[in-house]
Amino acid sequence: MLKKNLLLALLLCLMIPRYCSAFFKKNTTLVREKAVVYYVTDGDTVKVKINDENFIVRLIGIDTPETKDPRKAVQCFGQEASAYTKKILLNQNIILESDSVSQNKDKYGRLLRYVFLSNGTNFNHQLIAVGYAYEYTYQSQLYRYRDDFKQAQKNARENKLGLWSDSACAGVATPVINKLVNKKWLWYRIF
């Protein structure tokens, strides 16, 4: 029965693309809204106020080294990424932009958005370009600025900016993932 339902859903997706996006709960419309950043959680997560309502926003397409995850140690260059985000965004008027390809919220209920500064700069891109963040594609989901973000990371890495600097992270700037094995955290580097 499950196979039959999945096959039917797949056929509907191929025949009626709008059904497919609704079926997978994607955000099919572009939303741009004004907000004020009132708190910076870390380099890639902020709290904003939109029309007197508070929201947590996770920046799309980037990942900064961890500083607040209780399951993880503070990662190399995490403090610097958080400080940079705080310096640029705290108490600033911004524009939040959704992505018509990605979901509206993540599994933690955070809004998934691009942050644009008052001068029009895409802050997500800027974080990568100056070396405070990695390009991050969640579960192979495409997003609007992916190619630009990947190019920005390549440039930052080649120019040894921020976390890619020889003096940062012992010269090894690769995302760190951890895995719980026999109740001990093991750390792995992705090369």
Torsion of CA 123, 125, 128, 132, to 10 degrees: 0
Residue predicted with more confidence, 37 or 166: 37
Q: Could you say which of 110, 144, 146, 157 is catalytic? A: 110
* pLDDT, position 70: 84
| Spatial separation of the C-alpha atoms in residues 103 and 75, rounded to whole Å | 27
| Check whether domain 31-189 has CATH 2.60.40.10, yes or no | no
Q: In this structure, are residues 9 and 23 in contact, taking their beta carbons and an 8 Å threshold? A: yes
User: Which of the four pLDDT bands, split at 50, 70 and 90, describes residue 2?
Assistant: very low
Return the exposure string of 26-46: e unless at least 16 CB atoms fall within 10 Å of the residue's CB, then b.
ebeeeeeeebebeebbbbbbb
Write out pLDDT tens, residues 86-109: 999 999 999 999 998 778 999 999
Write out pLDDT tens, residues 47-91: 999 999 999 999 999 999 988 888 888 888 999 999 999 999 999
Query: Does the annotation mark 66 as catalytic?
Result: yes
- Domain-by-domain residue ranges, the chain? 1-27, 31-189
Q: What percent of the chain has pLDDT over 70?
A: 74
Q: Could you say which of 18, 53, 58, 80 is catalytic? A: 58
User: Which of the four pLDDT bands, split at 50, 70 and 90, describes residue 170?
Assistant: low
DSSP 171: G
Q: Could you say which of 18, 33, 53, 66 is catalytic? A: 66
* pLDDT, position 99: 92
